[in-house]
Amino acid sequence: MSLHPPPVGVLADGDAHRTAETDRSGWPGAVPSRVERPRDVGDVQRVLADAHRTATPVIARGAGSGLAAGAVGVAGAILLDLSGLDRILHLDADEQLARVEPGVITADLDAAAAAHGLMYAPDPGSVGISTIGGNIATNAGGLRGAKYGVTRDHVLALDVVLADGTLIHVGRDTIKGVTGYDLVGLFTGSEGTLGVIVGATVRLIPRPARIATAAAYFADITTAARAVTAITRSGVRPAVLEILDGPTLAAIDDLEGTSLRDRGDALLVIHTDGFGAEEELQVLTSAIASLVSHVETATDAAASESLLFARRRALPALEAIGRVLIEDIAVPRRRLADAVDRIAAIAFEEGVRIFVFGHAGDGNLHPIIVTERGGPNDPVPAEAVAAAERIFALALEFGGTITAEHGVGRLKKQWARRELGADVHALQVRIREAFDPRGILNPGSSL
C-alpha cells in the first residue's frame, strides 16, 4: 500500500484547510493516530478490513472543506484521505454521464463536461476545492440548486467499500431504474457513516446555450426576502437565486476592494439559463421592480461570473474578520422575511454579530455568527452558542430544518435528534448499525 505519513496532524500539502485536526467549520478535533492516502480501491478495502478486525475508527475525508466537523480527526482513528483517487474514469457524452473516483474536484468534473457541451449541475460555493466524494457524502447543494436541485438528484450509481472491507456497487449506469431499495439515495448524505464512496456514476446535462444574470440591490434584507416571494410567484424558475445582507457585502468590499455596499443594503443575485435566459430574466426583474433600488444585468459569461463573484467570496470574507460559526437552516420560502427579522433580533438580544447570506431560491439561509478569533482550541463563546441554539429553534418553529446542505457532522448532533424525533432517530441508528455493526465509521458524527 502506498502511504505517505505526513507531519503529525497535517496532510501532505499542508494547506490551512487540509489539516487533519479540523475542517472548514473550525471545530477543534484531535490528531488522528495515522493518515492513510489510498492509491486504489484495494487499498481502501484493506484499510477497512483491518480497521473492522481491530475495531479502529475510520474517518473518510475528501478535501476537508466541510462545515459541520464531519471529517475532523479523532484520537486513535485512521483518517482516510480519498483525495488521491482523483481520476475521471469515463465521460460518455451520448449517455450524458461520467464515472469518477471520489477525489475528483467538483469544478474539474464540470470543466471536463463543458468540453462536450455538458454540465455537472451541482455547484457548491466550494466548487474549486471540494471533492465529488465529499459532495455525495454530504448531499451538497449549491448556487444552481434553485433550478437543478442537490447532489442526490445527479447521482446514478455508487461503488462503496463497506465497514468490513466488502466492495459493493449500488444503483445503475442508466438514467432510469428502480429495482430494490434506493441505496444510492441512502449513501448520498450519509456523511461517511455507512461506507466509503470509492466511485460514482453521475448525471450530466446539456450546458445551457445562453445565460443572463442580474444583481438586484435593495434598501434592506427584509425587502430582498420579500422579492424572493415575488420571484417564486413569477412563473419563471431562476437557475441561481442568492441573497446577501449589507454587512456581508461590506465584508466582501473589505476583502476584495469592491463597493457593493454603496449600491444597497441587501443583494439578490439572479441567474437564468437556457435559450430563453434573457426573456426569463426580464420577467424576474419586472416581478421585483417595485421592491428593488438598483439593478445591474449581464448576458455574457464573463460579466455574469463577475456578478456571481461576490456571492462566492461571502464566506472567505467573513472568515477574514473573525472566528465564524456557520449555520445552515432552511425555512419555507414564504417565511424567509420573517426568518431574517428574527435572526436580527437574536443577534441584538445575544449581543453577537450575525451576517446572513444563502441560497434564497431553496429557502436556505446561512446565518454566520462572527466572534473574536481567539486560539484554535478556545471554546466557542457562550453568546455565540446561545445565538446558534436560538437559530436552530427558529428553523424548527418555522417548519424548516437545522441543516439544508452542510450536514449534521459533530456540530449539530443534538439538534438532529430533535428534528428527527425519537422514533425516526432510533430507526436511523438501527440502519447505521446494520451497515457498520462495530461502529467504526465516523463515530461521534452525524447521529
Ligand X SMILES: Cc1cc2nc3c(=O)[nH]c(=O)nc-3n(C[C@H](O)[C@H](O)[C@H](O)COP(=O)(O)OP(=O)(O)OC[C@H]3O[C@@H](n4cnc5c(N)ncnc54)[C@H](O)[C@@H]3O)c2cc1C
* Site for ligand X, rule CB under 6 A: 23-24, 59-67, 70-71, 82, 102, 124-126, 130-131, 133-135, 137-138, 140-142, 191-192, 196-197, 315-316, 405-406, 442
DSSP-based three-state secondary structure for 434: helix
The label of the residue with cell 493518515 reads 35
Pairing of strands 58-61, 78-81: parallel
Question: Taking the complex as a whole, how short is the minimal distance between the CB of residue 312 and ligand X, in angstroms?
Answer: 8
DSSP letters for 356-382: EEEEGGGTEEEEEEEE----TTPPPPH
**Cβ proximity to ligand X, 133 vs 264, nearer residue:** 133
Cell of 2: 502506498
Backbone angles phi, psi at 133, to 5 degrees: -60, -45
Q: How far apart are the first and last CA of the chain?
A: 32
**Cβ proximity to ligand X, 197 vs 277, nearer residue:** 197
Question: Taking the complex as a whole, how short is the minimal distance between the CB of residue 130 and ligand X, in angstroms?
Answer: 4
DSSP-based three-state secondary structure for 32: coil
C-alpha distances in Å from residue 345, one per residue of 32, 74, 368? 40, 37, 14
**Cβ proximity to ligand X, 122 vs 247, nearer residue:** 122
Whether 333 and 272 have beta carbons less than 8 Å apart is answered as no
Question: Taking the complex as a whole, how short is the minimal distance between the CB of residue 370 and ligand X, in angstroms?
Answer: 15
Question: Taking the complex as a whole, how short is the minimal distance between the CB of residue 125 and ligand X, in angstroms?
Answer: 3
Cβ count within 10 A of residue 370: 20
**Cβ proximity to ligand X, 130 vs 232, nearer residue:** 130
**Whole-angstrom Cα distance, residue 189 to residue 9?**
26
**Cβ proximity to ligand X, 69 vs 228, nearer residue:** 69
**Cβ proximity to ligand X, 127 vs 384, nearer residue:** 127
Whether 43 and 1 have beta carbons less than 8 Å apart is answered as yes
Q: Which residue minimizes CB distance to ligand X?
A: 134
**Cβ proximity to ligand X, 223 vs 446, nearer residue:** 446
**Cβ proximity to ligand X, 171 vs 292, nearer residue:** 171
Backbone angles phi, psi at 355, to 5 degrees: -100, 145
**Whole-angstrom Cα distance, residue 106 to residue 87?**
12
Question: Taking the complex as a whole, how short is the minimal distance between the CB of residue 391 and ligand X, in angstroms?
Answer: 18
**Whole-angstrom Cα distance, residue 171 to residue 188?**
12
Question: Taking the complex as a whole, how short is the minimal distance between the CB of residue 292 and ligand X, in angstroms?
Answer: 24
Question: Taking the complex as a whole, how short is the minimal distance between the CB of residue 142 and ligand X, in angstroms?
Answer: 5
Question: Taking the complex as a whole, how short is the minimal distance between the CB of residue 123 and ligand X, in angstroms?
Answer: 8
**Whole-angstrom Cα distance, residue 172 to residue 253?**
47
**Whole-angstrom Cα distance, residue 261 to residue 250?**
6
Backbone angles phi, psi at 39, to 5 degrees: -100, -15
DSSP-based three-state secondary structure for 419: helix
**Cβ proximity to ligand X, 194 vs 339, nearer residue:** 194
Q: Tell which residue, 323, 109, 355, has the closest CA to residue 221.
A: 355
Question: Taking the complex as a whole, how short is the minimal distance between the CB of residue 231 and ligand X, in angstroms?
Answer: 19
